[in-house]
Amino acid sequence: MPKKTFSPIFLQIPVTAIIWSLVGFVLVWLIYSFLYSTSPGGQPTFAALNNLITMFSDSRLFNAVLRTIYYAGVGTVIEVLLGMLVALALVNFISNTTVRFVVLMIFLTPMALSEAIASHTWLMLLTPQGYLNSILRSLGLPPVGWLSESMALTSLILADVWQWTSLPLLLIYAARVSVPQELYEMASLERLSAFKTFRVVTWPYIRNAVVVAALLRFIFMYITIDKILLITFGGPGFATETLGYYIWMQSFSYRNISYAATLSLATLIGATIVAYIFWRVMTRR
């Protein structure tokens, strides 16, 4: 039997200690802020469960959670499905590896842009006098209120889909190219339909990549505030005020640090539950 070595464990200790010291500090600070209410220039006062009571009776928070579910849920589904379709199309319809690589790089370009550049690009597209409405007017069509109260959140989803479909695409493409070609040859000999070939050959290999991509995109969209800050600033009214943006407002605009910490803890618990559900799905046979 090979001799056991603990070198990998010892090598991981410094990095692990640094990461957990940072995480531990943030958690301790959040719990302290949750229990003690502070005001600028004032002394901390014990808040007990007042913040929890406020949270469960906050109708504005409830509406922000509903918008977050719509924003993260719809955006994740579109990005993962679109990324999977493009990944499968690249492998199935482009046989030349050089051409396939070039096309893949083109699809990955939006992901390489910073949130600020992507947001300002879409702001120029979505404003009433922006490029999208200019194209519609040139075609004789009426302009669309992309940043209106009824359309603003959907427009933000479109901007996020344009930038971040590349992530599911990359993960699923990597899983798809790992499928042995012999399996497809066997499926062809068995005269399996395209759908059944996908179900019994392709899907078992790309399933974990799809789940991981969905988990990453849902959590990122669940907590994101970048595009909201740079394009709509939560408006018009409260139309694009999501959970992450509402916490930011409580902390940096209203200076209600204790309540913002309570909402942050609740968000952390929600993200943990979502991650556990995805993990169970991924490990279930």
Which CATH number goes with the domain that contains 98? 1.10.3720.10
| Tokens standing for residue 71 | 């924003």
Bridge partners (DSSP) listed for residue 46: 36
**164 and 24 part of one domain:** no
2 part of a folded domain: no
Per-residue pLDDT band for 285 (boundaries 50, 70, 90) equals low
Determine the Cα–Cα distance for residues 263 and 200; give it in Å rounded to an integer: 44
d(CA 259, CA 245): 14
pLDDT of amino acid 265: 86
Q: 130: phi > 0 → left, psi -120 to 50 → alpha, else beta; which? A: beta
Highest average pLDDT, of 18-27, 34-43, 125-134, 267-276, comes from 125-134
The alpha-carbon radius of gyration of the chain (Å, integer) is 24
Which long-range CB contacts under 8 A does 160-164 form with residues at least 24 apart? 160/75, 160/79, 160/221, 160/224, 160/227, 161/75, 161/78, 161/79, 161/82, 162/110, 162/118, 162/122, 163/110, 163/111, 163/113, 163/118, 164/79, 164/110, 164/111, 164/217, 164/220
Q: What does the mean pLDDT of the chain come to?
A: 87
Q: State whether 120 and 100 are in the same domain.
A: yes
54 is a domain residue: no
For residues 132 and 141, what is the distance between their CA atoms, to the nearest angstrom? 11
Question: What are the helix (H) ranges across the chain?
Answer: 7-35, 50-56, 59-93, 97-112, 115-126, 131-138, 152-164, 166-176, 181-189, 194-197, 203-223, 226-227, 243-248, 257-283
Looking at the structure, tell me whether residues 206 and 271 fall in a common domain.
yes
- Identify whether 247 is part of a domain: yes
- Say which residues have a Cβ less than 8 Å from residue 90's Cβ, sequence separation at least 6: 100, 103, 104, 173
Provide the residue range defining the domain that includes 112.
Answer: 59-283
| Same domain flag for 116 and 202 | yes
DSSP state of 230: I
Looking at the structure, tell me whether residues 181 and 129 fall in a common domain: yes
Measured CA angle at 274 (ends 109, 152), to 5 deg: 55
User: In which band, very low, low, confident or very high, does the pLDDT at 31 lie, cut at 50, 70 and 90?
Assistant: confident
- Whether 65 and 88 map to the same domain: the answer is yes
Q: What is the pLDDT of residue 272?
A: 86
40 and 122 together in one domain = no
Q: Is the pLDDT of residue 40 over 70?
A: no
Are residues 222 and 86 both part of a single domain? Answer: yes
Does any domain span residue 221? Answer: yes
What mean pLDDT comes out for the span 181-186? 88
Q: Are 71 and 154 in contact (CB under 8 A)?
A: no
The number of distinct structural domains making up the chain is 2
Q: Which residue has the tokens 């802020």?
A: 33
Instruction: Say yes or no to pLDDT of 20 above 70.
Output: yes
Q: Would you say residue 219 lies in a domain?
A: yes
In this structure, the answer to whether residues 100 and 43 fall within a common structural domain is no
* Residue at 1 is within a domain: no
Residues with Cβ within 8 Å of residue 238, at least 6 apart in sequence: 60, 63, 64
Q: Tell me whether residue 53 is in a domain.
A: no
pLDDT at 163 over 80: yes
Q: Are residues 103 and 227 in the same domain?
A: yes
Within a 10 A sphere around the Cβ of 73, how many other Cβ atoms? 14
Q: Are residues 37 and 94 in the same domain?
A: no
Query: What is the mean pLDDT of the segment spanning 58-63?
Result: 92
Higher pLDDT, 116 or 25: 116
pLDDT at res. 169: 96
Question: Using one digit for the tens of pLDDT, what is the confidence trace for 229-246?
Answer: 999 999 898 999 999 999
Say if residue 79 is in the same domain as residue 27: no
pLDDT single digits (tens) 68-122: 999 999 999 999 999 999 999 999 999 888 999 999 999 999 999 999 999 999 9
Whose structure tokens read 């994101």?
A: 224
Dihedral of the CA atoms 252, 257, 261, 262 (nearest 10)?
-120
In-domain check, residue 126:
yes
